[in-house]
């Protein structure tokens, strides 16, 4: 994109949540997270609907609607995390902006959103990362922080369990006369050492925005978390490890090695009163090759693996 603006609305309804009347199709409200997207950093992931007390902690959350001060009321909210990162919480009945954070980053220097007007919810893009001339090169953090892999929410703990990649985008601008994508490469976060951890699972208290616990590992991620009513969180990674965590503390309770990379959604279900966990395995090897080439795991070998609980 050339000659972009700097704030919402821009490229109307892109990278937005739109609430529509199911009977008439009329738009009740919309909220745009990333206007004028110059980087293909989509906010198209799942919208999670939660009923929670909204009481964001200013020490944990960067942008907070001042109307929330001293209220701590239960609200019906919609929660979104974009591909580049960026955690947003809105009232799902009205679309009102409640709070947001450049999660999982502390700085917005390389983040695509530079600021949010906390009174109106208007988002501003980072103009320092917008291409102006052919050959402009930028390191944009993050990229593929979030993808097809999903987080999970537990109403028992009130926490979101968020699997993320610590990855960024190295992008160089093409001539505007050339069709197709510009040269762009996914790279590890420059703040990570050569043997550093590339993936994290973070437990976030959705009422306050505080991080409760974090699990870090070298192996990249394309897997999903599954939170259960028994206070267990399941998660699988590209290095074939399938683990169960204590939902309250993040302690690893159990793990096993499967036959291929885990890039799908584990599910929990019961048959004749007995509970099962099934996880699809198999997939591509590009994440290991890109982020951690020293690791090797089979490509393909697609199968469903099922466990039963005692």
Average pLDDT on 122-128 reads 93
Strands 159-165 and 123-125: unpaired
Whole-model pTM: value is 0.92
- Among 15, 38, 288, smallest CA distance to 165 is for 288
CB 149 within 8 A of CB 223: yes
C-alpha span between 267 and 269 (Å, rounded): 7
C-alpha span between 154 and 19 (Å, rounded): 24
Average pLDDT on 16-28 reads 96
Query: What are the tokens at 117?
Result: 């007007």
Confidence of residue 4 (pLDDT cuts 50, 70, 90): low
Confidence of residue 245 (pLDDT cuts 50, 70, 90): very high
> For 46, which DSSP code?
P
Confidence of residue 36 (pLDDT cuts 50, 70, 90): confident
């Amino acid at each position: 994109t050339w000659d972009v603006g700097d704030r919402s609305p821009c490229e109307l309804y892109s990278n937005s949540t739109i609430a529509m009347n199911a009977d008439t199709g009329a738009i009740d409200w919309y909220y745009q997270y990333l206007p004028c997207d110059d980087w293909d950093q989509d906010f198209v992931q799942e919208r999670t609907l939660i009923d929670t007390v909204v009481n964001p902690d200013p020490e944990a959350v960067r942008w907070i609607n001042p109307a929330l001060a001293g209220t701590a009321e239960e609200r019906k909210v919609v929660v979104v995390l974009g591909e580049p990162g960026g955690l947003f919480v809105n009232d799902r009945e009205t679309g009102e902006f409640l709070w947001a954070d450049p999660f999982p980053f502390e700085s917005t220097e390389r983040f695509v959103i530079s600021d949010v007007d906390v009174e109106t919810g208007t988002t501003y893009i980072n103009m320092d990362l917008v291409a102006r001339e052919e050959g402009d090169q930028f390191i944009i953090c993050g990229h593929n922080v979030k993808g097809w892999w999903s987080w999970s929410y537990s109403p028992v703990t009130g926490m979101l369990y968020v699997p993320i990649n610590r990855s960024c985008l190295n992008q160089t601008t093409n001539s505007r006369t050339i069709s197709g994508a510009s040269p762009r490469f996914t790279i590890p976060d420059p703040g990570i050492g050569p043997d550093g951890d590339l993936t994290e699972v973070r437990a976030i208290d959705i009422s306050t925005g505080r991080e409760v616990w974090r699990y870090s590992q070298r192996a990249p991620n394309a897997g999903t978390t599954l939170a259960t009513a028994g206070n267990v969180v399941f998660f699988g990674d590209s290095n074939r490890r399938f683990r169960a965590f204590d939902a309250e503390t993040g302690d690893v309770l159990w793990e096993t090695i499967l036959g291929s990379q885990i890039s799908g959604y584990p599910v929990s279900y019961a048959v004749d009163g007995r509970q099962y966990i099934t996880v699809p395995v198999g997939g591509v090897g590009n994440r290991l090759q890109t982020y951690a080439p020293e690791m090797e795991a089979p490509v393909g070998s697609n199968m469903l693996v099922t466990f039963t609980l005692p």
